[in-house]
Each structure stands twice: as structure tokens, then as C-alpha cells.
Chain A
Amino acid sequence: MTATADMTGATDLKQTATALVARKRLVAILTPIVLMGYFVYLFFAFDLPGLAERARMDNAKILIADSYSYKTHITHDNRNGGLVFAIEGESKGTYPEGMIPDFVTPVGEDAVNIALKAGESAEIEGSTLRYTIPDYGTVTVTVEGRDIILETPDGQTPDWISASGARVNITGEGGRATVTRARTEVYNYSFGWELFWFTLDSPFYGKSLGELAGLAVSGDRVVADKSNIAAMVHDFWNNAMWRHKDVIWAIFETILMAFLGTMGAALVALPLAFLAARNFTRLMSIRFAVRRFFDFVRGVDGLIWTIILSRAFGPGPMTGALAILITDTGSFGKMFSEALENVDDKQIEGVSSTGAKPIQRYRFGVIPQITPVLLSQVLYYLESNTRSATVIGAITGGGIGLLLTQAIITQKDWEEVSYYIVLVILMVIAMDWFSGWLRGRLIGKSEEH
């Protein structure tokens, strides 16, 4: 009797086990198949075959080359005469009268020799450009009236020269040249971020670190009404090319957005969380309403809040801070109310047994219990919101996000883009470190992984 019961029990067990293993095996086989199928669908939905055509690898090359090098434009005005030397061709980077780059040698009126990289050289003499390439010879381009005349050593046009009636482009190994009726222009590429410290109009331009240190300690004033260090700081801070002042302000604005938004959200969410917690609010309807409010605020995405707020407040850090504040009120409210529901009642009872009033009960019975949870969440969000503030800044127009999108959209100042990217990464890492440090100090346990 018992034996048969055991037997049936065992068969049952075996059957369940077999079914379970079979199901697991099915899942194990099906999961990769479904995933593969999804990726195949994405392959066509994202138009990956078309992507290969759309991809502009020359853009990638420009981007990479530009991020660590700069070019100096040497421009001759073919209509009115006169030579201009300018870094990146910008008016802010133009060499002042009487100052020329060191790879340029003047050889006469409106005539210069330019030493380029890879042994190449160029010579501008009036409206004539001679571009010399080793092992090939000299290409001569002359502008005469309305015509541009191209002469190559073998009479043929190689594929690195593109010539039309209105424009000749020469792309060498060490430089580039463009000739139009209006101007003859030679570009020389050099390594580094030129003018990062001082622009050309600063008396400190081109000085080595040793010379600068010497100037800093010496009493002889380069600028009459300022000490040397003050003058250096002033020239660096007001650098027109790299705009350090604006960039640092933008970084600060981004951090400000994250700080105001996160802390503001925590301050708004805390009292509301008491209303949403089961053990503090007995009234179902209030609890329900507050919880739906949290859900609603979280569900209406940060993107939508940002758009709505930017309509009311215009671009700037306040808009970004409020967008973060509203979005995170929902998240904080949910988390805080969950933390409040897990509070230990004994401590509250202990405090109330001493005759404490409700406010005191909350202050001494509840707050100390939830502070660690609260603080660690708030600090975690502070770090993550620094990143969000960059994105929100790009949408509303404020902080480093705005500078970054502007620099990328103009598609030419990639060295500035890389500068901003480096700063953003440093900012996020610094905030990450800072919030971790603060958490360690306030909660008293360091969570170092």
C-alpha cells in the first residue's frame, strides 16, 4: 500500500523533473534563436546595408585629425593684394601686423616661402602659387584676370589635384592649398591645440613653461598695470579662441542644474513620501492620490518636462534644474515612501513613550532611520544627474551641453569638441568621486569596489 503510494509519488516527481528539464532545455535553445531573429529584424529595420553607404569615413578622418592638430591658413588676397596668417582661418587667431608663423619666410613684397610637412614646400608670390612635392616637382597655379592656370611638371593632372575653371585644390601629404580667383590659400597642419593658453595678442604667447615661470616670479612687469601672474591669468581666462571663461561657466552651470534639481527634488519628495507611506497615512485616498502623482511625474518623461519648462522659462540653467527637479520628485517620492514603509516601529514607540509630539517623533524616531537610505539615493542621483544635465542643456540651451552641440553642429572646431568631451568626462568622474566621498563621510561606510 505504502509502497505503491511511494512509487506513484516517485513517478510524479520524475515526471515533473523531466518536464522541468525539458522546459529549461527548450528555453535554452529558444532564447538564442529568438535573439538571433530579433537581430536579423533589426538589421533590416535599422537599414544596416544602407548605413555602409551613408557612412562618411572622410568625416571620421577629419574629426580625428582635427582633434589633435590645428591648421594655419596663409591667405593671399588676389584682388587687392596682401597676405594674412591666421590659425584655423579665424579672425581671433590672426597674426598681428609684423608677426608671422615660424615656418614662413618672407622673400619680398607679397611673397613668402612656406615650409610644409613631409618635405613639401609652397611659395606664394603675388597671385602665383608654387607647390613643390619631392619626387614629383613643382605645381604652379597662377591667377590671371578671370583665369586660373594650372601647370604640372608632366602636363597631367594627378588625382590629388582637383581643378576646375573657378577653383584648384591641391591635397599634399604635408599640407593643402586652394586657389580661387579671389584668394590663394595654403594650409599647414601642426600638432597640438594651438593658442590653448594664450592668444597671439597676448605678450605671453609662444613662451615656454620655464620662461613663464621666470616671468611669474620676476618683478619686471610685462603689462604695466598688473603683476605678471595676474596678467597671465587674465589673458588665459579671456582667451578669445578657446573661451575658457565661458567653458568653465558652462561646466559650473551644468553642475548647478544637477545640484539644484536633485536637492530640490529631495526636499519636495520627502514630505510627500510621508503622505504616500502606508504606516504614516491611514487614509487610503490620500495615499492613492500621492502615489499616482509620483507615477504620473515619472511617466511623463524628463524630455517632455524639459520641453514644457523651456517654453515657460526660456533657455538657461533654471529650466534645466526645474526639469530635473520635477522628474526626480517622482523617483525620489517612490523610493522614499518605500524606505518609510520599512521603518522599524520600535524606535518610534520608544520616542513617543518619552512624551514626544508628532513632529519630534518624526525627527528623532523616523528621520535617523531613513537618513542613510535617503542620502545614498540622493547622492547617487546627483552624480547621474550631472550627466542628464548635459543632455538637458543640449535641449534647453544651457551649460556645457549647449556649447558641445554648437561646436558639433558647426562641424569644424573638432579640437574644441574634444576639449569639451574631456571636460565633461572629468566633470562626471569628479562628481562620481565627490558623491562617493560624501556618502562615505556622512553614512560612515566606504563602498569602494
Chain B
Amino acid sequence: MTDSTLGESVGAKGTTDIQNAYMAMARTKRMYGGIILIVFIALMVSGFMLADSRNAGGFWDGILNIFKFPGEVLEEASEKAALIPALMWKFLPSMIETINIAAAATLVGGLMAIMLSLLSTRGLARFPRLIAPFRRLMDVLRAIPEIVVALVLIFILGGGPVPAMIAIALHTAGALGKLFSEVNENASLKPLEGLESVGASWSQRMMLGVVPQVAPNWLSYALLRFEINIRASAILGFVGSGGIGYDLKNAFSWGQGRYDEVAAIFILLFLTIVFFDQLSSHYRNKLIGKA
């Protein structure tokens, strides 16, 4: 009898303890959350004010003007609406060049990424000791912004699509290499053992044992990269190599009177990006669904 009352009171005391401990924990957690929130808001506000003060035009002036330029472009484009299709046709070769840069860079960078990823995946690597150096190489390739490589290469090779292509390809090699090697890590090693037992060389093992397992995922990542690379190649054109970006810069710097060209290029770029977005997401869904 006495025992049971003792047990009960201990139980009640235990529950209170647990409740207190839980409430204390919840309070600390809430406090940490609050602190993080305050720090975050402070960072955002002070960052915004700093950026605003270091900008040539202030935020509040700019926000009122934000529709001025698109308005001017739209106005002029609507006046010359009949000319737009012809202009779009005129800029189509540049658009194709931009797409070609992206496609070539994705292909070349993808092939480099395949090599790098196979060389830097545990269990598959040709030289297991060199896994870490190859990974660091991919890190550096990913870290260098395309524009840096492109501008340096423009100085050496002159303008044109090749500097942009090389710059994007190098970045693609790093970015895809990392994703590919993550895919490779999930590949089954059994086919490799089988191939090795019949005396297959390293390249044969990779071609026949690994590639069939991982190809759909590789392709899906490469398609996503292609989409990103089209945007990158348009931007690089604006900074100095060929393609639609270069035409956009020229049309843009002519100022008023050529805004119909700006509008035509905007539309062309928009349609191209949306088209390749849809295309690549369609095929990616198909590939991943199959895998």
C-alpha cells in the first residue's frame, strides 16, 4: 500500500520533471529561433540599406522608373510591330550560334565530366590514389566563373564563339563531373566484377559495366546543364563573345530608335529558353521514369 502511493508520487514527480524539461527545451529552441530570425532580419535590412547607398541610382527612385524602359521598348515595338518577325528572322543566325555554343560546351564538358567522374569515384577509379586531386580539380573548375575564362581567352583568341564555348565547357566539366560521380557511386559493382573475371581492361569495364547503368541519369543531368548553358552563353555574348548577347548589346547601346530590335531579341531569347526548358524537362521525365 505504502509502496504504491510512493510509486504514484514518484510517477507524478517524474512527469512534472519531464514536462519542465520539455518546456525549458522548447523555450531555448524558441529563443534560438528568435535570435536567428532577428539576426537574419538585421542582416537583410542593413544589407539592403548598404546596397542602396552604394548604388548609383537609389532604390526608391528606381522603383518608380522600373516600367519606363520596358514601356519605351513596348511602345516602339508596338509601333513597328509589323517589322518584328523580319527582325527575329534576321537575328535567328545569332540565336543559333548561341545555341551551338551551349550545345558544343555541354557535349565537350560532358565528355570531360564523364572522364573526371569515373576517375574520381571510389571503386571505379583507374588510379585510386588520385581520387582526391581529381575532385579538387573539379572543385576549381566549378569555382571559376565562366566570364573570367571567357575574357582571358578573348584576349588571346580574339572574339567569336570559341572562347565562350571553352569557358562554358570547363565550368560544365566541373559541375557535371560532381553530379556524375554521385550517380556513379550508386552503380552496382557486380557487372564490373564479372567483366574483370573475363579479363576486361579498365576502359572496357567502364564502357560495358558502368555506362549502361548510369547513362539515363547522366543524360538527364546533361540536359539540365544544356538549359543552363544556353542562358550562360547568351550572357557571355553580352560581355564580349558572339551570339545573340552581342547583338542585344549593340541594339541596346544604339538606344531609342532601335528598340524594335531589342524587343525582337527579347522575344527570340524568351521563346528559345522556354522551348528548350520544355524540351529538356520532357526528356528528363522520360529518362528518369524509365530508369
Q: How far is the CB of A245 from chain B (nearest CB, A)?
A: 14
Evaluate contact between B51 and A45: CB separation under 8 angstroms.
no
- B92 on the interface (CB 8 Å rule)? no
- A316 on the interface (CB 8 Å rule)? yes
Q: How far is the CB of A116 from chain B (nearest CB, A)?
A: 27
Q: What is the 8 Å Cβ interface bit string for chain A, positions 365-404, against chain B (1 contact, 0 not)?
A: 0000000000000000000000100110011011001001
Evaluate contact between A425 and B140: CB separation under 8 angstroms.
yes
Q: What is the 8 Å Cβ interface bit string for chain B, positions 35-54, against chain A (1 contact, 0 not)?
A: 00000100110011011101
Also in contact, A256 and B51, with CB within 8 A (given A56-B156, A428-B143):
yes
State which of A15-23, A182-190, A212-220, A294-302 sits at the interface with chain B: A294-302
Among candidates B56, B144, B152, residue contacting A316 with C-beta atoms closer than 8 Å? B56
- B104 on the interface (CB 8 Å rule)? yes
How many Å lie between the Cα of A300 and that of B70 in the bound state?
Answer: 13
Evaluate contact between B160 and A391: CB separation under 8 angstroms.
no
Among candidates B47, B68, B103, B158, residue contacting A259 with C-beta atoms closer than 8 Å? B47
Also in contact, A313 and B62, with CB within 8 A (given A55-B157, A59-B155, A298-B277):
yes
- B245 on the interface (CB 8 Å rule)? yes
Q: How far is the CB of B68 from chain A (nearest CB, A)?
A: 7
Residues of B near A257 (CB, < 8 A) are 51
How many Å lie between the Cα of A314 and that of B55 in the bound state?
Answer: 7
Residues of A near B50 (CB, < 8 A) are 256, 317
Q: How many residue pairs bridge A and B at CB < 8 Å?
A: 178
Residues of B near A268 (CB, < 8 A) are none
Q: What is the 8 Å Cβ interface bit string for chain A, positions 288-320, against chain B (1 contact, 0 not)?
A: 000000010011111110011101111111110
How many Å lie between the Cα of A267 and that of B140 in the bound state?
Answer: 31
Among candidates A38, A318, A421, residue contacting B144 with C-beta atoms closer than 8 Å? A421
Q: How far is the CB of B231 from chain A (nearest CB, A)?
A: 5
Evaluate contact between B152 and A394: CB separation under 8 angstroms.
no
Among candidates A35, A394, A398, residue contacting B107 with C-beta atoms closer than 8 Å? A35
Q: How far is the CB of B222 from chain A (nearest CB, A)?
A: 13
How many Å lie between the Cα of A316 and that of B55 in the bound state?
Answer: 4
State which of A46-54, A130-138, A157-165 sits at the interface with chain B: A46-54
Residues of A near B198 (CB, < 8 A) are none
CB closest residue in chain A, given B245: A303
CB closest residue in chain B, given A391: B147
- B287 on the interface (CB 8 Å rule)? no
- A405 on the interface (CB 8 Å rule)? yes
- B239 on the interface (CB 8 Å rule)? yes
How many Å lie between the Cα of A375 and that of B30 in the bound state?
Answer: 18
How many Å lie between the Cα of A55 and that of B159 in the bound state?
Answer: 10
Q: How far is the CB of B126 from chain A (nearest CB, A)?
A: 19
- B17 on the interface (CB 8 Å rule)? no
Evaluate contact between A408 and B69: CB separation under 8 angstroms.
no
Evaluate contact between B145 and A312: CB separation under 8 angstroms.
no
How many Å lie between the Cα of A398 and that of B52 in the bound state?
Answer: 12
Among candidates A264, A300, A428, A449, residue contacting B270 with C-beta atoms closer than 8 Å? A300
Evaluate contact between B270 and A299: CB separation under 8 angstroms.
yes
Q: How far is the CB of A364 from chain B (nearest CB, A)?
A: 12
How many Å lie between the Cα of A66 and that of B129 in the bound state?
Answer: 35
Residues of B at under 8 Å CB distance from A?
40, 43-44, 47-48, 50-52, 54-59, 62-63, 65-66, 68-70, 97, 100, 103-104, 107, 135, 139-140, 142-148, 151-152, 155-158, 160-162, 165, 178, 181-182, 231, 234-235, 238-239, 245, 248, 252, 266, 269-270, 273-274, 277
Can you list 11 residue pairs at the A/B interface with Cβ under 8 Å?
A253-B51, A298-B277, A302-B231, A303-B231, A304-B266, A309-B62, A314-B57, A394-B239, A417-B152, A424-B143, A449-B135
